[in-house]
Each structure stands twice: as C-alpha cells, then as structure tokens.
Amino acid sequence: MNTTILDQTDLDILRLLQKDARLTNKELALKLHKGSSTMFERVSRLKDLGYITGSVTLIDRNKFDELWISFTQVQLNDHSGEALIAFQNEVIRFPEVLECYHTTGAFDFLLKIVVSDMAGYNKLIVEKLAKLKNVGSLQSCFVVNEAKRELAYPLKDRI
C-alpha cells in the first residue's frame, strides 16, 4: 500500500481533523502556517484519494437509557473462507451490530452490539445471531463503563 503520496502537512491535517471534524480551513491554515485555500485544496484531495472517508458527530451515550453495549465473540463451526464471508455478510446487516471484526484467535469474530434492554439482547442473540449458519460458540460481555474511547488513529510521521 503506497502512502508516500502524503507529506507532513497532509498527515498534520489528518491528525487535526481526526480530533475535530469541524475545524475550518482557516483554523487549519493558522495551525499549519499555510493559506486557507491551500487547506481547502489539500482536504479536497484527501477526500478524493479516499484518505478521508467521512465525519461523524459524537453524542453522550450515557444520556440515553436505551443504549446498552455488548461485545460478543463468535466462533464458527466451519472455518472455510466461504463460511466466514457468508456469516460476515449476514451479521453486518443487523442494525444492532455496530461493529464487526474478523479476528485471529479462538473466536472468529468480535461484534460490538447495541441493545435497548435485555429483551432486545435476548431477541438478537437467540432469534437472529444463533440462527445464522455455522454459528458455534458465543461469548458476550456487557459494557459497565466506557473509560476511554479515542477514535483518532495515531499516524506516523513520514521520514
């Protein structure tokens, strides 16, 4: 994967925007000592090249009684590539499944799941998840406290 297209300024832009999507080009320009139309051009380029994929507003999950988070690990009975892809394609269609990672280790997938209550959790697991093909063992844990949630990936300087 070629990443030499990005220079130091591009990386700085990505670092800053990962922390605050609403920084204006003028604010970026001030921090990076360039003109604001330069920032406009660079940010547009980063979008066009696919480095920037979108932006999201973050909300305080604790203000909503209906948001209970569970992490569920799934082990399939069939570990063939077809079975893994088939499961993946099905499970990501459930709106309760916010995140789905194919992982190394004893389990094949790690799912981040949101439910509004235990009834919703039970319904998802018993009626939807467990009914998918090849699903072997499941192991779930619920989030008691979210101590940290940093969405900005640390980017290495280009040498």
Partner DNA sequence: ACTGAAAATTCTCTGGC
Partner DNA sequence: GCCAGAGAATTTTCAGT
Tell me how far, at minimum, the Cβ of 9 lies from DNA, in Å. Answer: 5
Tell me how far, at minimum, the Cβ of 120 lies from a copy of itself, in Å. Answer: 10
Distance CA 87, CA 109 (A): 9
Pairing between strand 109-115 and 68-76?
antiparallel
Question: Under the criterion CB under 7 A, does residue 139 sit at the interface with DNA?
Answer: no
φ and ψ of 109, to 5 deg: -135, 150
What is the pattern of x (binds a copy of itself, CB under 8 A) and - over residues 49-68? -xxxxxxxxxxxxxxxxxx-
Question: Under the criterion CB under 8 A, does residue 97 sit at the interface with a copy of itself?
Answer: yes
Q: Which of 133, 134, 75 is nearest to 105 (CA)?
A: 75
Cβ neighbors of 73 (< 8 A, separation 6 or more) are 103, 107, 109, 110, 111, 138, 139, 140
117 binds, among a copy of itself, DNA, none (CB under 5 to 8 A by kind): none
Q: Which of 54, 11, 52 is nearest to 31 (CA)?
A: 11
Footprint on residues 65-104 left by DNA (CB under 7 A): none
Catalog residues that contact a copy of itself under the rule CB under 8 A.
1, 3, 14, 17-22, 50-67, 69, 71, 88, 91-92, 95-107, 109-110, 114, 116, 139-156
Catalog residues that contact DNA under the rule CB under 7 A.
7, 9, 24-27, 29, 33-38, 40-42, 44-45
